[in-house]
């Protein structure tokens, strides 16, 4: 074989080249053998290049992007002479982000920089529908592929230990089974389109304040039963090409130089075959390679933050014996293996226009199932199609729906809706998807008179509400990477500066038929809850948020979302009522996650006997369900079945959930989600649901013996509509057993 093709084969030849080379070598499709075959032919310089990731965005006067980089988060030079492609990396989990397209400027990628945004990661988790997460993953994976990327930095899923965290919108909630399942399915969907996905940020990157300096402190057993279990499940389901280690320290050791996390847990215990990439600027030494880090990302960010690009010196470190050669070989093998296993090498991206209409439909379906009906007094919703007068107020609802800021920022097709760059005090500008809820309403109620008031003048808003049959108030909470909300209250209106809580109260006082639609990154307080009729939690609703919200409000679809996260009644209920590091975020500090340990979210609320504003798993439907005939069998895990029946008059989505309730004292977390099903049931229809619990959910991690141990003894299986509404229960006996980690 002539291994030096000059200047390098065009993309369309790569498939043929790889296939014929591999076939000649008799390696078939086995990714490990293919990786070995190609790694053996690489020069040292090629190997060093493959582990050294570059930032993909120019920094004026300081940094020029490498030739060939598409201008997104990252670029890694491949051994192209051998047919191994460059890595073109883009954020993130709700769509192909454009880091330069903040709304002031045209994206550097031109119109290709515009992409379709899914509802936020938290919204996807609220669908409780793994197949929707998979489909969403295929949509964003396909767009990435058509925009020239073969790596999508998706799969964000740090467990929500801090409801004020500015990145909760990117994550998948507070429960390890739910978060791992939903993120894992999204990742699998992305990779089905020949685009490698990450899972991130490993691990315990639960708050943004001080993320570059803090140490997340927690015992091994607690971590294995919570955050690490979420990653373990996500990796099993999604088989991501790469794991991104996080900025923070874990038990004092940087996550990207953490032998325990990277070598022991990930690579040894979980047998993870892919590669570990650093978050951008999260490396601390060239010797991080010795404890499991396989690739530096965005190396100029390391230079800016830490004074050097670490893997630029890797060759010298190997020559000096500080890092062994076998490590470099293994780092390369892991990257190559993922390239083959994910099929990303075999099917290089082909720059093609995205199918914006089809992709928007995927996003719309996801939001329709993500919106959670929190309150519906007097069955005000769904609204009648023959309603006369609707007053829509606030939330920039005439222009669009809000999105989350930071590296995951997707720039919508056609550009953001106005306003652009409102000063919020957030580190990233707020971008609005041009999907107007107001303009989606006439299709729902063709005869209605619809008014819109921005809410900037309370008296005017009240007057328009008083003159209408129903008032729909939109409120929002901008959130972003690099930021945590000071508390759980709604901030002043993003656009008008109005006090949103006061606006809702004033409108509700003028019209008893007030509906509040909340577009937030996570939980918010609702001091007006007792005064309004209905509340729809719409999250960050994505590219088709306007029509999706309208469809739910008018009952074209059932209210189908459930909360993937507890809504606290106050910050006093949190394990850390005051956010750690808030006064001095740049000085190293510790966050004591041992307070709640494995009892994250609803598990903490149950342990403390706190009544939240809304519990995990909660969400109303437009119909009603009953649950019966629970049968549960114990042993080293739990098998159960029950019947769920639609007892109402409309078709609707049931999301029955099964929990394991353990006697007090036998575990840190004595209530655990062990399974759920999402079912569309016609009026009167029943379905039998059968579930088998993952045995790890019936076990505690024994850190001394380094294995999972079933919690032998009596326990209870409980089934119902949410973590706090579990009408069925059945005793089970768990028998002693162990599982390897």
> What does the binding site for ligand BGC look like in residue numbers (CB under 6 A)?
73, 91-92, 153, 200, 279-280, 407
Nearer to ligand BGC, 212 or 235 (CB): 212
CB 216 within 8 A of CB 591: yes
Beta-carbon contacts of 575 under 8 Å, excluding residues fewer than 6 positions away, are 161, 593, 595, 596, 604
CB 493 within 8 A of CB 432: no
CB of 295 to ligand BGC, least distance (A): 13
Tokens linked to 529: 């809850």
**Which has the closest alpha carbon to 527: 501, 545, 558?**
501
Nearer to ligand BGC, 153 or 381 (CB): 153
d(CA 545, CA 118): 9
Nearer to ligand BGC, 275 or 642 (CB): 275
CB of 153 to ligand BGC, least distance (A): 4
CB of 478 to ligand BGC, least distance (A): 18
Nearer to ligand BGC, 156 or 515 (CB): 156
Is the preceding peptide bond at 203 cis, omega within 30 degrees of 0? yes
CB of 106 to ligand BGC, least distance (A): 20
CB of 171 to ligand BGC, least distance (A): 11
Rg of the chain taking only CA atoms, in angstroms: 25
**Considering Cα of 597, then 600, then 604, then 607, what sign does the dihedral take?**
negative
Sort strands 728-734 and 713-720 into parallel, antiparallel or unpaired. antiparallel
Nearer to ligand BGC, 73 or 506 (CB): 73
Nearer to ligand BGC, 92 or 188 (CB): 92
Nearer to ligand BGC, 248 or 722 (CB): 248
**Which has the closest alpha carbon to 242: 332, 173, 338, 306?**
338
How many C-beta neighbours within 10 Å does residue 511 have?
A: 23
Nearer to ligand BGC, 458 or 480 (CB): 480
CB of 144 to ligand BGC, least distance (A): 13
Nearer to ligand BGC, 226 or 248 (CB): 248
CB of 600 to ligand BGC, least distance (A): 21
Q: Map 612-664 to HEC letters.
A: CCECCCCCECCCCEEEEEEEEECECCCEEEEEEEECCCCCEEECCEEEEECCC
Nearer to ligand BGC, 407 or 514 (CB): 407
Nearer to ligand BGC, 153 or 390 (CB): 153
CB of 140 to ligand BGC, least distance (A): 14
Tell me, rounded to whole angstroms, the distance of Cα 314 from its chain centroid: 33
d(CA 180, CA 192): 18
Beta-carbon contacts of 447 under 8 Å, excluding residues fewer than 6 positions away, are 386, 388
Nearer to ligand BGC, 279 or 494 (CB): 279
CB of 301 to ligand BGC, least distance (A): 8
CB 569 within 8 A of CB 612: yes
Nearer to ligand BGC, 261 or 548 (CB): 261
d(CA 536, CA 559): 9
d(CA 39, CA 331): 10
Sort strands 401-402 and 432-433 into parallel, antiparallel or unpaired. antiparallel
Distances in Å between the Cα of 226 and the Cα atoms of 44, 210, 287 are: 40, 22, 29
Tell me which DSSP letter residue 173 carries: -
CB of 407 to ligand BGC, least distance (A): 4
- The region, left, alpha or beta by phi > 0 then psi within -120 to 50, assigned to residue 547 is alpha
CB of 255 to ligand BGC, least distance (A): 12
CB of 269 to ligand BGC, least distance (A): 25
CB of 149 to ligand BGC, least distance (A): 12
Nearer to ligand BGC, 57 or 392 (CB): 57
How many C-beta neighbours within 10 Å does residue 497 have?
A: 13
Nearer to ligand BGC, 201 or 718 (CB): 201
How many C-beta neighbours within 10 Å does residue 556 have?
A: 15
CB of 105 to ligand BGC, least distance (A): 18
Please report the DSSP string for 513-551 in residue order: SEEEEEEESS----TTGGG-SEEEE--S--TTHHHHHHH
Please report the DSSP string for 336-384 in residue order: HHHHHHTTTTTS--------HHHHHHHHHHHHHHH-EEEEEGGG-PSPP
Beta-carbon contacts of 358 under 8 Å, excluding residues fewer than 6 positions away, are none
CB of 165 to ligand BGC, least distance (A): 12
**Cross-strand partners of 59:** 63
Sort strands 87-90 and 151-152 into parallel, antiparallel or unpaired. parallel
């Amino acid at each position: 074989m002539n291994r030096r093709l000059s200047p390098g084969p065009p993309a369309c030849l790569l498939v043929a080249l790889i296939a014929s080379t591999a076939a000649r070598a008799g390696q078939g499709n086995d990714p490990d053998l293919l990786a070995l075959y190609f790694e053996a032919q690489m020069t040292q310089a090629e190997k060093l290049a493959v582990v050294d990731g570059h930032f993909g965005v120019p920094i004026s006067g300081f940094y020029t992007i490498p030739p060939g980089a598409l201008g997104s988060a990252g670029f890694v030079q491949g051994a192209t002479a051998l047919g191994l492609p460059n890595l073109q990396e883009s954020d993130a989990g709700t769509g192909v982000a454009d880091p330069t397209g903040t709304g002031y400027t045209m994206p550097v990628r031109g119109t290709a920089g515009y992409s379709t945004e899914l509802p936020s990661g938290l919204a996807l988790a609220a669908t409780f529908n793994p197949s929707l997460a998979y489909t969403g993953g295929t949509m964003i994976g396909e767009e990435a592929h058509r925009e020239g990327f073969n790596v999508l930095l998706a799969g964000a899923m740090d467990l929500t230990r801090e409801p004020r965290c500015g990145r909760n919108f990117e994550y998948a909630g507070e429960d390890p089974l739910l978060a791992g399942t939903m993120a894992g399915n999204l990742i699998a969907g992305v990779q089905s389109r020949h685009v490698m996905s990450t899972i991130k940020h490993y691990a315990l990157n639960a708050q943004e304040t001080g993320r570059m300096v803090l140490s997340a402190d927690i015992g091994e057993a607690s971590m294995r039963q919570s955050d690490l279990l979420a990653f373990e499940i996500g990796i099993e389901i999604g088989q991501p090409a790469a794991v991104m280690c996080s900025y923070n320290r874990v038990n004092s050791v940087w996550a990207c130089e953490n032998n325990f996390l990277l070598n022991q847990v990930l690579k040894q215990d979980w047998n993870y075959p892919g590669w570990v990439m650093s978050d951008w600027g999260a490396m601390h030494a060239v010797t991080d390679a010795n404890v499991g880090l396989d690739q530096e990302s965005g190396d100029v960010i390391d230079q800016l933050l830490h004074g050097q690009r670490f893997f630029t010196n890797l060759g010298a470190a190997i020559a000096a014996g500080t890092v062994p050669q076998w490590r470099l070989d293994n780092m390369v093998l892991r990257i190559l293996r993922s390239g083959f296993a994910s099929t990303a090498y075999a099917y290089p991206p082909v720059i093609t226009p995205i199918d914006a209409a089809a992709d928007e439909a995927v996003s719309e379906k996801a939001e329709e199932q993500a919106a959670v009906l929190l309150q519906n007094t007097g069955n005000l919703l769904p609204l009648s199609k023959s309603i006369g007068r609707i007053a829509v107020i606030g939330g920039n609802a005439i222009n669009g729906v809000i999105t989350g800021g930071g590296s995951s920022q997707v720039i919508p097709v056609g550009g953001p809706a106005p306003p652009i760059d409102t000063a919020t005090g957030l580190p990233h500008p707020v971008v609005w998807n041009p999907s107007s809820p107001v303009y989606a309403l006439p299709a729902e109620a063709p005869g209605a008179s619809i008014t819109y008031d921005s809410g900037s003048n309370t008296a005017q808003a009240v007057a328009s509400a008083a003159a209408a049959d129903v008032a729909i108030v939109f409120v929002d909470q901008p959130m972003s990477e690099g930021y945590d909300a000071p508390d759980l209250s709604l901030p002043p209106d993003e656009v008008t500066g109005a006090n949103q809580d006061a606006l809702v109260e004033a409108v509700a006082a003028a019209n008893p038929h007030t509906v509040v639609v909340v577009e937030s990154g996570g939980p918010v307080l609702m001091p007006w809850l007792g005064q309004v009729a209905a509340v729809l939690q719409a999250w960050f609703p994505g590219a088709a948020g306007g029509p999706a919200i309208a469809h739910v409000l008018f009952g074209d679809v059932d209210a189908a979302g459930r909360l993937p996260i507890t809504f606290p009644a106050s910050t006093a209920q949190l394990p850390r009522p005051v956010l750690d590091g808030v006064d001095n975020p740049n000085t190293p500090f510790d966050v004591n996650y041992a307070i709640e340990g494995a009892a994250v979210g609803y598990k903490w609320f149950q342990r403390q006997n706190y009544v939240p504003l809304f519990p995990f798993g909660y969400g109303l439907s437009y119909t009603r369900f009953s649950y019966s005939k629970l049968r549960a069998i114990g042993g080293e895990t739990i098998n159960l079945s029950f019947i769920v029946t639609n007892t109402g008059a409309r078709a609707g989505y049931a999301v029955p959930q099964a929990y394991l309730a353990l006697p007090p004292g036998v575990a840190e977390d004595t209530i655990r989600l062990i399974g759920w099903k999402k079912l569309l049931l016609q009026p009167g229809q029943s379905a039998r649901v059968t579930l088998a619990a993952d045995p790890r959910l019936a076990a505690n991690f024994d850190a001394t013996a380094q294995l999972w141990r079933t919690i032998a003894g009596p326990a209870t299986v409980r089934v119902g509509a949410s973590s706090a509404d579990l009408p069925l229960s059945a005793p089970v006996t768990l028998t002693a057993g162990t599982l390897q980690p």
